[in-house]
Amino acid sequence: MLRIRAVEALSGRSVRLTLTDGSVVDRDLTDLLDGPVFASIAVDDVEFRRVRAVDGTLVWPGDVDIAPETLIWDGPDPTPTDARRPAASLRPHLPRR
């Protein structure tokens, strides 16, 4: 199962995720940062940039997290027999060298 190995905060509310297979996904989190639990990171650049990858998911101080299946698959992980791939805009790609 793919999980998040590292994260880099980009401009706005975007992040660059390095996955456990070495692929990289750039993801805009704007639409996911809804509700009171995300209030500070949705508007505060300093708080948003405190993001870390822990145990395969994104976390911020204050017990705030976003599950890897949401970030990678935009829903539950695929089953072993499921041919689903991440949405084209989220499809992992190898880093450019």
Q: Which of 74, 17, 66, 12 is nearest to 38 (CA)?
A: 66
Q: What is the CATH number of the domain that holds 34?
A: 3.30.2020.10
Residue 34 inside a domain? The answer is yes
pTM of the predicted protein model: 0.77
Residue 35 inside a domain? The answer is yes
Positive or negative, the CA dihedral 89, 20, 77, 83 is positive
Residue 97 inside a domain? The answer is no
The predicted pLDDT at position 97 comes to 45
Summarize pLDDT for 25-78 with one digit per residue, the tens.
Answer: 888 999 899 999 999 999 999 999 999 999 999 999 999 999 888 888 765 555
